[in-house]
Amino acid sequence: MIPNNFEYHRATSVDDALTLMAKHGMDAKLLAGGHSLLPAMKLRLNQPGVLIDIGRIDELRYIKKEGNELVIGAGATHDDIAHSEVARNTLSMLSEAADLIGDVQVRNKGTLGGSLAHADPAADWPAVMIAAKANIELKGTNGSRTVAADDFFTGFFMTALEDNEIITAIRIPAPPKGARSAYQKFMQPASRFAIVGCAAMVTLDGGECREVSVAFTGLSDAAFRASNVEAALKGKKPTEENIAAAVQAAGEGVMPMSDHFASEEYRLHLARVYAKRALMAATQ
Ligand SMILES: Cc1cc2nc3c(=O)[nH]c(=O)nc-3n(C[C@H](O)[C@H](O)[C@H](O)COP(=O)(O)OP(=O)(O)OC[C@H]3O[C@@H](n4cnc5c(N)ncnc54)[C@H](O)[C@@H]3O)c2cc1C
């Protein structure tokens, strides 16, 4: 349980972190809350020679409204989001998901940026950010760019992040008027990671589902948008029967994971159950 030796540098700003990354190259890893990286280092699954600590950069830790967007700094902790009134008022699934992550220590230190960069297939934030139609802001030595959450998670612990880039912020567009959201998960009882989690955002208009946004985590190798479920509910009344029928499409077109926590069949079953719960909670 003791990691390999490493050098430690504490970055004072995003630009300072980028300079340190350029200097140390592939041997360096960013350290935010440390709740994914440090366990991996102790298990020697990850053995960086240099850690660049970005966990105390104030410019990365905020949650604010900016024009029509909610902007969350990558360094905001799960606990910051759980207790943010502006986040809760924008989309309640943000605080619901934050509240369900790990335990108090994990929520106090773990960050939104760290969770998205790590892209654990069982992590909660990826599904929530896809359902919220968030955009992820990245800064690198060659400039800044924005990637839609839909395109960010590319596979098992894989993202669109380049080696020389830092996630700086997550931008969530103001949801349409009348939009409501919910996040529901079946959790691993020890870690509270999602065996399957579902985030849903629905906009009702004249008693019908005008816009539907649904995303899953835990079901396959990366979080993904459930376009089939969305299409099956769009334009329909959010009755229990219609929702139960729509969630039958959960998992279509993806390869469900199977491990010692849950088989492929059980995960598919959970996906339907938890999608129904999330959609019912968002619409009733
Ligand atoms: C006991 C336990 C229970 C947990 N339960 C849950 C749970 O229920 N749900 C859940 O979703 N997660 C859970 N987690 C994971 C937790 O949420 C982590 O905090 C999170 O996955 C990583 O965030 P971090 O800030 O700790 O990142 P770190 O561990 O510091 O870093 C993780 C990775 O992201 C990179 N990184 C960090 N910040 C940035 C950035 N701004 N830009 C680019 N790269 C960056 C690092 O280089 C590293 O590769 C749990 C962890 C533990 C230890």
CA of 230 to the centre of ligand 1 (A): 29
CA of 117 to the centre of ligand 1 (A): 8
pLDDT at residue 82 in the model: 98
Domains within the chain, CATH numbers bracketed: 7-51 (3.30.43.10), 61-173 (3.30.465.10), 179-283 (3.30.390.50)
CA-wise closest residue to 216 among 231, 233, 194, 243: 194
pLDDT at residue 140 in the model: 97
How many other C-beta atoms are found inside a 10 Å radius of the C-beta of residue 276? 22
| Structure tokens that stand for 102 in this block | 């790990």
pLDDT at residue 2 in the model: 85
Identify the residues whose C-beta falls under 6 Å from ligand 1: 29-37, 39, 54, 74, 101-102, 106, 110-111, 113-115, 117-118, 120, 123-125, 161, 166-167, 191-193
| Nearest CA residue ID for atom 20, ligand 1 | 115
pLDDT at residue 107 in the model: 98
Q: What is the number of residues in the chain?
A: 284
pLDDT at residue 1 in the model: 74
pLDDT at residue 185 in the model: 98
- Give bridge partners of residue 204 from the DSSP assignment: 209
For residue 170, the SS3 value is strand
- Considering only CA atoms, give the Rg of the chain: 19
Atom of ligand 1 nearest to the CA of 110: 19
pLDDT at residue 15 in the model: 97
**pLDDT tens, N- to C-terminus, the chain (284 residues):** 788 899 999 999 999 999 999 999 999 999 999 999 999 999 999 999 999 999 999 999 999 999 999 999 999 999 999 999 999 999 999 999 999 999 999 999 999 999 999 999 999 999 999 999 999 999 999 899 999 999 999 999 999 999 999 999 999 999 999 999 999 999 999 999 999 999 999 999 999 999 999 999 999 999 999 999 999 999 999 999 999 999 999 989 899 999 999 999 999 999 999 999 999 999 98
Atom of ligand 1 nearest to the CA of 38: 29
pLDDT at residue 73 in the model: 98
Beta strand pairing status for 224-225 and 208-217?
A: antiparallel
| Nearest CA residue ID for atom 48, ligand 1 | 37
Atom of ligand 1 nearest to the CA of 111: 25
- Give bridge partners of residue 222 from the DSSP assignment: none
For residues 68-101, b (16+ Cβ closer than 10 Å) or e, as one string?
ebbbbbbbbbbbbbbebeebbebbbbbbbbbebb
